[in-house]
Amino acid sequence: MAQLNFGGVEENVITRDEFPLSKAQAVLKDETIAVIGYGVQGPGQSLNLKDNGFKVIVGQRENSKSWDKAVADGWVPGETLFDIATAAKKATIIQYLLSDAGQIQAWDTIKENLEPGNALYFSHGFGVTFKEKTGIIPPKDVDVILVAPKGSGTSLRRMFLAGKGLNSSYAIFQDATGNAKDRVCALGIGVGSGYLFETDFEKEVYSDLTGERGILMGALAGVFEAQYNVLRKHGHSPSEAFNETVEELTQSLMPLVAENGMDWMYANCSVTAQRGALDWRHKFREATTPVFDELYESVATGKEADRVISTSSKPDYRAKLEEELKEIRESEMWQTGATVRKLRPENN
């Protein structure tokens, strides 16, 4: 474990130097890992584990699109691909990667197939943190651990194939065997993490729900729409408004911020951009802080969990979701985006 300084705060992190892949393989050499669910995180984590030499099987509902995707990715029915109950029964480590709603529905099946000494692994602390709402209460005789990659399963897989790693948080909710720490570290390295930083199930949920609703998706989409609409209102063309709002940010600036930091970005742009960004930064921070405060309170009090559980469990959820996504997809801004993406040099 390495101790690093993050802006003056010391944190313990686990890197590949002190926990190399060879150590991870040794820790889990006698384990069978069942990845339950093949939706958002399942494909990336299972394929990375398999490519890293671990014994992995997949559990998924039969006759579903995700089952078909698993088959297309090389998982073999009856050999490495099973229904959820069978996969759970065969495993010593169950990676519970269904959606939060799916975890609630399948919990009785998982619980029935947990044996003493098994490990129950999550990539989101929702089910356990809000156990009074979800009913997911792990038995006392199993390890309960978490590895949460800070990005989508698609990004995890792409970075793995490129020889890179996606940073992940890790947590131990319950150490029944005395080996939970080694197990969670080995799994974190095995799925392709760049480094692992410690958290707990509750903090992971609070930060994750705030981030998704905030800067990662909700706030970002809302700010995109606001700036695009203002530019269009003042006579700018769709192409100009989209390029100044989305394309320049995602294709030019954010990769450089990721590589060098925001201060570097400020230091390497025109004085006009520099001055304006530094001045308006404070206005945007002050304007949005009350919204983020409200958001965090909604997460911490369980209001967001209630909404997720109540809406996602309704039979018409998928149909209504498609309506909402269609509204975004068919808006002028994102129709413009589809055209702009086709004009990128790599697509011509």
36 and 159 share one domain: yes
Judged against a pLDDT cut of 80, whether residue 3 lies above it is answered with no
Q: Residue 7 — pLDDT band, cuts 50, 70, 90? A: confident
12 or 340, greater pLDDT? 340
Mean pLDDT of 333-348: 91
166 and 308 share one domain: no
148 and 255 share one domain: no
Q: Which of 124, 234, 236, 282 is catalytic?
A: 124
**pLDDT tens across 13-49, in order?**
999 998 999 999 999 999 999 999 999 899 999 999 9
Q: What is the pLDDT of residue 1?
A: 72
Residue 205 lies in a domain: no
How far is Cα 180 from Cα 42, in angstroms, rounded to an integer? Answer: 21
Where in the sequence is the domain holding 283, given as residue range(s)? 211-347
Q: How many domains does the chain have?
A: 2
Are residues 34 and 196 in contact, defined by beta-carbon separation less than 8 angstroms?
no
**pLDDT tens across 243-260, in order?**
999 999 999 999 999 999
93 and 147 share one domain: yes
**pLDDT tens across 102-143, in order?**
999 999 999 999 999 999 999 999 999 999 999 999 999 999
Q: What is the pLDDT of residue 21?
A: 96
Judged against a pLDDT cut of 80, whether residue 147 lies above it is answered with yes
Q: What is the pLDDT of residue 345?
A: 86
Q: What is the pLDDT of residue 150?
A: 92
- 124 catalytic, yes or no? yes
Average pLDDT in the chain? 95
Within the chain, strands assigned E span 2-6, 9-15, 33-36, 56-59, 81-82, 93-96, 119-122, 143-149, 166-174, 193-198
Judged against a pLDDT cut of 90, whether residue 305 lies above it is answered with yes
Which residues fall within 8 angstroms of residue 327, CB to CB, at 6 or more apart? none
Mean pLDDT of 93-108: 95
159 and 246 share one domain: no
Q: Which amino acid is at 23?
A: K
Judged against a pLDDT cut of 90, whether residue 348 lies above it is answered with no
Judged against a pLDDT cut of 80, whether residue 4 lies above it is answered with no
Residue 26 lies in a domain: yes
What is Dmax (Cα atoms) for the chain? 66
Judged against a pLDDT cut of 80, whether residue 277 lies above it is answered with yes
154 and 42 share one domain: yes
**pLDDT tens across 52-80, in order?**
999 999 999 998 999 999 999 999 999 99
Q: What is the pLDDT of residue 223?
A: 97
Residue 206 lies in a domain: no
Judged against a pLDDT cut of 90, whether residue 5 lies above it is answered with no
- Angle, helices 303-312 vs 201-213, to 10°: value is 70
Judged against a pLDDT cut of 90, whether residue 341 lies above it is answered with yes
217 and 140 share one domain: no
Structure tokens belonging to residue 2: 């390495």
How far is Cα 313 from Cα 69, in angstroms, rounded to an integer? Answer: 24
174 and 218 share one domain: no
247 and 312 share one domain: yes
